[in-house]
Structure 1
Amino acid sequence: MKSTALTFRISLLLLWFLFLALPSPGGDWPHWRGPQRNGISDEVLPAEALRNIGGKVRWKIEAGIGFASCSVVGDRLFTTGHRDGQDTLFCVNTGDGSTLWKYSFPSDLGDKFYEGGPGATPSVKDGRVYLLSKWGDLFCFQATNGKILWKKQLRDEAEVRVPTWGFNGSPTLVGDTIFLNVGSAGMALRQSDGKILWKSDRGDPGYSTPLPVELDSGQGLLLSNGKAYLAVDRETGRKLWSHRWITRYGVNAADPIMKNSQVFISSGYNKGCALLETSGGKVETLWKNKNLRNQFSGSLLVGDFLYGIDGDSNEKASLRCLDWKTGAVKWDFDQCGFGSLVAVGNQLLVLDHGGTLWVAPASPEGFQPSSKGKILDGKCWTVPVVAHGKLYARNSDGTLVCVSW
């Protein structure tokens, strides 16, 4: 009898260790840059993904022209695209790609020097979906059925100015507040009914998504406008500090990264990057160079090293690794070209401009891919998303694929 009991305990222990060794089933990706707002997933890629990152395309849909990414909550995916004079928000079943509901509204394509279409990613919280169009249409939907709970046209109601390429920063949801990169220093609205809590002047915003952070002075928000990166108080909108950062055409688009009191900023068009010390509300430049020029897609901070795309879409670009402390280049990998990246644990997943997906460990020693695979055709600038063991990626024409391993 004792022997049987001991065998049973050992079997349970072995099962427990086997469970711990399994890849993480993962979780939601409810908004731009994921649950931690840093472009890094807590999931663990299975061994098969490292051997064959292209995996199997489970399904694909046509969402329409645009560069918005996806949000995934439970078994539902939300994204948006443009077709025939309308923008459409899609709610898709992640199991088979079937459309559960969609909502379309009139919108200009806005194809100035590029394909156009929406750029802001829908944000999901507490059973609601929030969408900002490039022309200032702000919606709140019931996530289950697409019912409009409220909507606003910010150009009219808030008298804001639309930047050259439209609003591209996604809604940031914190507590019961929506934060938008609208105006010269952001805007805050109440989630329940869209009431404007505070707003900034009519200056041109940047194209980054507001990043909630903890500052010496309290709860802050990092964002960009057409001439600077800045921090504001989340409660009042009061400007806490601003660092002048002039990029050609006002394209301050890459999301800032904060570690302790230090903030990394970067932009393309040969502008470069910098690391700022912001303690005490005063900004000091720790280093500044042209070693990492993020035109659109922001970099990732994994450990003490930055990984990102250096260069613009219309020229030779490369994947680079920089030392956070010094800004020195650790390595340069030019085979990917322009594209975007996400991290899954310690693995970098890079989607290049032609639709090939690469995977390699995030290491300052070099980019050494374990595999790569073609998953899309056409122009691929949009950051892929990993949620619940699946990867979602799209191209500019709106073909969106679900990949699993």
Structure 2
Amino acid sequence: MNTKTLPVLSIATLAYLIQPLTAGEWSRWHGPNGDNIVEAAKNFNPDLNNWKISWQEQVGLGYATVTTADGRAYTMGHDGESSETIVCFDAATGKKIWDYTYQGDLIPKMHVGGPNASVVIDGNNAYAISKDGQVINLNAKNGKKNWSAKLIELLEIELPNWGFGSSAVVYKGDILISAGKTIALDKRTGEPSWISNVDRAAGYGTPVVFTKSGKDYIAATDADGISILNASNGKEIGRHDQKVQYNLNATTATMLNDEGAIFFHNNTNSAVLDFDGKSLTEKWSDRKLKNPFTSSVKYGNSLYGLNGKQGSSAILYSLNTSTGEHNWEVRDYGFASLIGVGETLLILTEDGNLITAPANAKEYKEISRKKLIDKTCWTNPTYAGGKIYIRNDQGILICLTPA
């Protein structure tokens, strides 16, 4: 491993850029602050033996996370034939409030298929992206369509190998979507505001907006690496090339500080990059640290994430962001996903075990573990409004509440 010292600061520079959120809501990909952590969790009980299944529903094939707003829960799924559905539930009861069904391709390449993106809620608007690249804006209250657009036509690209994976990111008056090129669509009309000046094969990660020295930038991944774009016009400013296996660059970059330090990882390599306003510089990298599409969680000077591909050999780790040195490793976690709830890691393994553990860089110690669901779980859990949501690729959605 090649290491150099990197100053450690904190993320939290984006709150003013994104729609206002009620404490405890998870209305977009990676949660309230875009860092995969919900901080408003003082009453969270990490002992899963004190949680019960409140309700369970079938939402269709796919991997879309659950998002929440105003007492409602949203997700997406596919019927396995020719239709996708966006669905809205009463978060308290699981009663369906509305659904919106449309023609959409399954694209089951090396997985069951179905949508990847989260439904993003911005006030009275819901923004969804289908597996085949339809961008759909619905009224979040009643499910009526406001507008739709097709990424393949707007970006003049072919369908990516694994369909589209990026969730929408609300930024000022636009929504941002990455698929090789990054596009800003007027969130009221769906008309393009700008398209980035790049022409690379699509990645599957969601773009990240960040601020450095008073200027806004976008970290956007594609099949061959990561670019830093001007947030006002999409012009590429910095670039780091990283060829990945199968062109499967599907993780969301993790901002490490307010000065442009970025953790970028995929199924081939992991690296910390420093953006100085003009270019990207690699601070350290580790080709042994690999993950196809599970994003990491940052607490202080430490990152928590998964190393490895599908199967029981995958490793849960904590590492020092300054040096890349590992604090600890735990084997046999399978291809898990994780979020942060207060100071607790909430981990969902691919075989349906939900696990809690302190976000502690000194040692790893499980608090509790509970088997809740079968089949393949590649979707991040959600914690919002005092509830835990998990789903599998077959579309079984479970809502847990304190017992």
* TM over 0.5, shorter chain: yes
Q: Give 2:24's aligned residue.
A: 27
1:256-275 matched pairs, under 5 angstroms: 256-258=253-255, 259=257, 260-268=259-267, 271-275=268-272
C-alpha separation between the residues in 2 aligned to 1:257 and 1:326?
16
C-alpha separation between the residues in 2 aligned to 1:93 and 1:108?
28
Tell me the secondary structure at the aligned position of residue 363 of structure 2. coil
Write the letter of the residue equivalent to 2:219: L
C-alpha separation between the residues in 2 aligned to 1:151 and 1:172?
16
C-alpha separation between the residues in 2 aligned to 1:235 and 1:399?
40
Equivalent pair of 1:65/1:398 in contact (CA under 8 Å): yes
Q: Does 2:38 align with 1:50?
A: no
C-alpha separation between the residues in 2 aligned to 1:292 and 1:403?
33
Q: Give 1:94's aligned residue.
A: 91
C-alpha separation between the residues in 1 aligned to 2:83 and 2:220?
29
Equivalent pair of 2:358/2:364 in contact (CA under 8 Å): yes
Q: Does 2:174 align with 1:177?
A: yes
Q: Give 1:62's aligned residue.
A: 58
Write the letter of the residue equivalent to 1:190: D
Deviation at 1:291, TM superposition (A): 4.7
C-alpha separation between the residues in 1 aligned to 2:399 and 2:112?
23
Equivalent pair of 1:347/1:359 in contact (CA under 8 Å): yes
Equivalent pair of 2:106/2:131 in contact (CA under 8 Å): no
TM-score by length of 1: 0.90
Deviation at 1:151, TM superposition (A): 0.9
Q: Does 2:303 align with 1:306?
A: yes
Q: Does 2:244 align with 1:247?
A: yes
Moved more, 163-172 or 201-210: 201-210
C-alpha separation between the residues in 1 aligned to 2:50 and 2:337?
16
Aligned mate of 2:190, from 190, 194, 199: 194
Aligned mate of 2:162, from 165, 174, 178: 165
Aligned mate of 1:350, from 347, 350, 359: 347
Deviation at 1:314, TM superposition (A): 4.7
Equivalent pair of 2:311/2:334 in contact (CA under 8 Å): no
1:4-403 matched pairs, under 5 angstroms: 26-44=23-41, 46=43, 49-52=45-48, 55-83=51-79, 84-182=81-179, 184-200=180-196, 201-216=198-213, 218-258=215-255, 259=257, 260-268=259-267, 271-314=268-311, 316-403=313-400
Tell me the secondary structure at the aligned position of residue 280 of structure 1. coil
Equivalent pair of 1:185/1:237 in contact (CA under 8 Å): no
Equivalent pair of 1:216/1:281 in contact (CA under 8 Å): no
Return closer, same or farther for 1:362/1:100 CA change in 2, 3 Å cut-off.
Answer: same
C-alpha separation between the residues in 2 aligned to 1:267 and 1:315?
19
Deviation at 1:142, TM superposition (A): 0.4
C-alpha separation between the residues in 1 aligned to 2:114 and 2:49?
29
Moved more, 58-67 or 145-154: 145-154
Deviation at 1:280, TM superposition (A): 3.4
Task: For structure 2, list consecutive stretches of 5 or more residues without a partner in the other structure.
Answer: 1-21
Q: Deviations for 1:101-147, whole angstroms, at most 9, x for unmatched residues?
A: 00111112111111111101111102100011121111110011111
Write the letter of the residue equivalent to 1:131: A
Q: Deviations for 1:256-289, whole angstroms, at most 9, x for unmatched residues?
A: 1122321110111xx1211111113222211111
Return closer, same or farther for 1:108/1:185 CA change in 2, 3 Å cut-off.
Answer: closer
Write the letter of the residue equivalent to 1:266: H
Moved more, 152-161 or 241-250: 152-161
Return closer, same or farther for 1:226/1:369 CA change in 2, 3 Å cut-off.
Answer: same
Moved more, 198-207 or 139-148: 198-207
C-alpha separation between the residues in 2 aligned to 1:153 and 1:278?
32
Q: Give 1:14's aligned residue.
A: none
Task: For structure 1, list consecutive stretches of 5 or more residues without a partner in the other structure.
Answer: 1-24
C-alpha separation between the residues in 2 aligned to 1:281 and 1:363?
35
- Could you say which structure has the higher helix fraction? 1
Equivalent pair of 2:181/2:199 in contact (CA under 8 Å): no
Write the letter of the residue equivalent to 2:78: H
C-alpha separation between the residues in 2 aligned to 1:378 and 1:280?
45
C-alpha separation between the residues in 1 aligned to 2:219 and 2:159?
20
C-alpha separation between the residues in 1 aligned to 2:37 and 2:229?
25
Write the letter of the residue equivalent to 2:167: S
Q: Give 1:12's aligned residue.
A: none
C-alpha separation between the residues in 2 aligned to 1:45 and 1:378?
32
Write the letter of the residue equivalent to 2:182: G
Tell me the secondary structure at the aligned position of residue 397 of structure 1. coil
Equivalent pair of 1:53/1:359 in contact (CA under 8 Å): no
C-alpha separation between the residues in 2 aligned to 1:129 and 1:310?
33
User: How many residue pairs align between the two structures?
Assistant: 377
Return closer, same or farther for 1:216/1:291 CA change in 2, 3 Å cut-off.
Answer: farther
Tell me the secondary structure at the aligned position of residue 152 of structure 2. helix
Equivalent pair of 1:54/1:374 in contact (CA under 8 Å): no
C-alpha separation between the residues in 2 aligned to 1:204 and 1:304?
33
Tell me the secondary structure at the aligned position of residue 281 of structure 1. coil
C-alpha separation between the residues in 1 aligned to 2:294 and 2:41?
23
